[in-house]
Chain A
């Protein structure tokens, strides 16, 4: 069974940083691209970033480009999202997800990030 467990969310001041982590299990992690999607409670889904299976290629939404960095460690089955220069509009539930391009076929339960002074 695929499991994705996010951690690292919390409350941070505007301009601050957070690093989200996602521990993956139940599948051959190094074979799959991984994605981060966020959702403001009560609102829609927003694609944030993706990383290729090898980690060599990364992709970002315009809204986070230059501020967020996605990475992965295939030896530890982990994917990360380093978030810098955080803004109030980055407040959301952040989902770690398996897949990219054709579909996301598994999702974690999310970790909540709140940017507030």
Chain B
């Protein structure tokens, strides 16, 4: 159950787009379309932003989008806003019926 691989940090200016990658294996990300993404502000509980690779829960801005190719999933945030500054975690269901999270990516809005 190794953690999924995410970049430690990404940054962008307001209005720009950024993409966070999430690399797993054929036993997790590559095996199912059960990749989800979570936003976590300091001192707060995580919030789901994307599920089933590319679906947005009700209430989540359409500036957030998700995709997957092979063993790598991606989260794209367009039109960056100051409030998007947070930690982002990917996760995937696995062939062992467990879950695995990525190590997290700190997004800085410059």
CB of B32 to closest CB in A, whole Å: 9
Q: Is the interface of A mostly helix, strand, loop or mixed?
A: strand
Contact size range, B: 20 to 34
Q: In the bound complex, how far is the Cα of B103 from the Cα of A105, in angstroms?
A: 20
Q: In the bound complex, how far is the Cα of B57 from the Cα of A59, in angstroms?
A: 25
- Extra pairs beyond A45-B89, A100-B99 (11, CB < 8 Å): A37-B101, A44-B3, A45-B38, A45-B40, A46-B101, A60-B98, A63-B1, A101-B34, A103-B51, A107-B46, A109-B45
Residue A102 at the chain B interface, CB threshold 8 Å: yes
CB of B46 to closest CB in A, whole Å: 6
Beta-carbon contact of A47 and B51 below 8 Å: no
Q: In the bound complex, how far is the Cα of B100 from the Cα of A41, in angstroms?
A: 18
Q: A residues engaging B (CB < 8 A)? A: 35, 37, 44-47, 50, 59-63, 95, 100-105, 107-110
Beta-carbon contact of B48 and A44 below 8 Å: no
Q: B residues engaging A (CB < 8 A)? A: 1, 3, 34, 36, 38, 40, 45-48, 51-52, 57, 89, 91, 93, 97-104
Residues of B within 8 A of A37 (CB): 101
Q: In the bound complex, how far is the Cα of B97 from the Cα of A60, in angstroms?
A: 9
CB of B52 to closest CB in A, whole Å: 6
